[in-house]
Chains A and B, each alone.
Chain A
């Protein structure tokens, strides 16, 4: 996938004389000294990252870590003090007024934490707003606005006003307003933080559904680790205006770069992040369907296990043989095919550990992880599930 947004050495300083403060910052003075001596706040400090096309890129961090400042640089609501932001290869920091307005009208849309809806406009009027600014003819923009409202499940609410809607519905309107412009990029600043937990989860799922259909590039901000890992294809963790680590949720969870990250992610619910493919391992023994029971017995004895998976020459899973059945079958000259069992669990590599837990804790045999051609990729035993959950959290 190609790079959609490329941020290079971005710094934002709030205060009277940011350029002078920038020099001090580059000399290595600390943010505290700078604040004390100049009264300027360093919002973000020398941040670089890339966002790929059609990706959900989550920026996560504690309150005051500079998430909003960073996001607001991406549509120049904040003008960076230094650094470059390339979107589709062109540096938006250099945009003139007119280019900037056009960029905001067509390329990028924002969803706000407290919705930022226009309370004097109807729901339809809100969703239409961006199109109105672009001088789209009235009939056309009403049509688009209606369609977009239907996508977020608000058909029939067009003529209501924001104060007549619940919080969750208001944020759907916020989302619809952003989507109506058909932007490439969605900037979402803690869009679900103001919502009840239940509504919040609903909205997360809905966002993923919409994203599966529309395939936007989304930069999503949250202070909630679980939300970050649930939504993010990749996640950046910020601390005091700097990015500490960027990676997929699994990478951050399994290889935190420092104690700060470790602490940060320790109360994450790992079963919702880790998938079958992250905790499976190569089977210690494997038997071909062409082999006889004797080979199976030998393999199991060597590996010290009581059952083994049987595959064909394409490594497709055929079934499972237990040591008891093999021992009985061997003197009778039976083939492996005759004693194959199939009351084991099969799972796809993308299944979340959360969904494997019931199977893993009750199954007599290991779980088989297979791809869509039924090829055996690995196996999961109860212990590996448990160890994944406690791993590195202590």
Chain B
């Protein structure tokens, strides 16, 4: 068997490392500010969720389920959520939820404007589309590497990696939603003398809302799945329990935590999907 000739060996990784170091050297201030902002948001959400009495959240889930789905779903979601408490995993779940919610909020803050910008400018779309494709095909744990390089270990890199991973759907679907608004409707808005801003706010965004909601739903689900993976860089939470359980071959511990993640996923998915459905506009 012939081995690959050694003299054409070339390692790309080293250049990436050099680039990241260069970034760190030159944009230290930027990363520090970013770190602070993310940490600030995260701690606020985290302490709020831990302060919140468990039954308030259970009731909230019940009401949301009732309003956006039906009574039976509401009861089911509330019961499932209580089950997590029964497993003794409530505090860990709140930590996980804090990271998910912070990541989703920041993703939307970033993703909605980018999606809107993309829908307005073909040039932006040409640049952003391939980046989104790349982001979505990359295995999710790859994001942990630059995140760690920039922010070290802990919750902030987890949030950062989660944002990067969960961003594409909301951008994509915001873009799609705005682009699929009927041309005649947009023209009608302009024909009545609307500015671009008025057209966006009064016609395009309301029309795109159901699609955008679907994007938000997908972003949330992806954020949840990423948080589990982020436990690899030492984030305390449900994911870490699963990982540790598997590592120590403690099936029982891993199973309870795993089931809790599934429960969380189902509740978040169904409720956001329910909200998306409520916003659907009947066709002419």
A133 CA to B185 CA, complexed, in Å: 15
B166-204: which have CB < 8 Å to A?
182, 184-185, 187-195, 198, 202-203
Measured CB to CB, the closest approach of chain A to B77, in angstroms, equals 28
Is the contact region of chain B dominated by helix, strand, or loop, or is it mixed?
A: helix
Tell yes or no: B281 within 8 A of A by CB.
yes
A161 touching B193 by the CB < 8 A rule? Answer: no
**Contacts A101-B195, A120-B206 hold; do A112 and B188 have CB atoms under 8 A apart?**
yes
From the candidates A109, A116, A130, A161, name the one contacting B282 in the complex (CB within 8 A). Answer: A161
Tell yes or no: A134 within 8 A of B by CB.
yes
Tell yes or no: A105 within 8 A of B by CB.
yes
Tell yes or no: A115 within 8 A of B by CB.
yes
A103 CA to B31 CA, complexed, in Å: 49
Tell yes or no: B2 within 8 A of A by CB.
no
Tell yes or no: B207 within 8 A of A by CB.
yes
| Size category, A interface | 20 to 34
Encode B148-176 as 1/0 by CB contact (under 8 A) with A: 00000000000000000000000000000
Tell yes or no: B9 within 8 A of A by CB.
no
B3 — which chain A residues lie within 8 A by C-beta?
A: none
Tell yes or no: A49 within 8 A of B by CB.
no
B106-145: which have CB < 8 Å to A?
none
A179 CA to B204 CA, complexed, in Å: 23
Tell yes or no: A307 within 8 A of B by CB.
no
A75 — which chain B residues lie within 8 A by C-beta?
A: 191
A101 — which chain B residues lie within 8 A by C-beta?
A: 193-195
B187 touching A112 by the CB < 8 A rule? Answer: yes
Measured CB to CB, the closest approach of chain B to A101, in angstroms, equals 4
How many residues from B make CB contacts under 8 Å with A? Answer: 22
A109 touching B194 by the CB < 8 A rule? Answer: no
A103 CA to B187 CA, complexed, in Å: 15
A181 touching B192 by the CB < 8 A rule? Answer: yes
B184 touching A114 by the CB < 8 A rule? Answer: yes
A170 CA to B189 CA, complexed, in Å: 16
A130 touching B184 by the CB < 8 A rule? Answer: no
B284 touching A163 by the CB < 8 A rule? Answer: yes
**Contacts A119-B207, A119-B282, A161-B282 hold; do A77 and B191 have CB atoms under 8 A apart?**
yes
A77 CA to B185 CA, complexed, in Å: 13
A102 — which chain B residues lie within 8 A by C-beta?
A: 193
Measured CB to CB, the closest approach of chain A to B210, in angstroms, equals 10
From the candidates A116, A129, A163, name the one contacting B182 in the complex (CB within 8 A). Answer: A116
From the candidates B195, B209, B283, name the one contacting A163 in the complex (CB within 8 A). Answer: B283
B188 — which chain A residues lie within 8 A by C-beta?
A: 110, 112, 116-118
From the candidates A100, A104, A118, A170, name the one contacting B185 in the complex (CB within 8 A). Answer: A118
A208 CA to B182 CA, complexed, in Å: 30
A130 — which chain B residues lie within 8 A by C-beta?
A: 192-193
A162 CA to B283 CA, complexed, in Å: 9
A103 — which chain B residues lie within 8 A by C-beta?
A: 193
**Contacts A77-B187, A120-B206 hold; do A115 and B284 have CB atoms under 8 A apart?**
yes
From the candidates B184, B195, B206, B284, name the one contacting A162 in the complex (CB within 8 A). Answer: B284
| B189, B190, B191, B203, most chain A CB atoms within 10 A | B191
B281 — which chain A residues lie within 8 A by C-beta?
A: 119-120, 163
**Contacts A116-B184, A118-B188 hold; do A133 and B194 have CB atoms under 8 A apart?**
yes
Known: A101-B194, A116-B187, A133-B198. 9 other contacts (CB 8 A): A100-B193, A105-B193, A115-B184, A116-B185, A118-B185, A130-B192, A133-B193, A133-B194, A181-B192
Q: What are the 5 A-B residue pairs with the smallest beta carbon separation, nearest first?
A: A105-B193, A104-B193, A116-B188, A116-B184, A163-B282
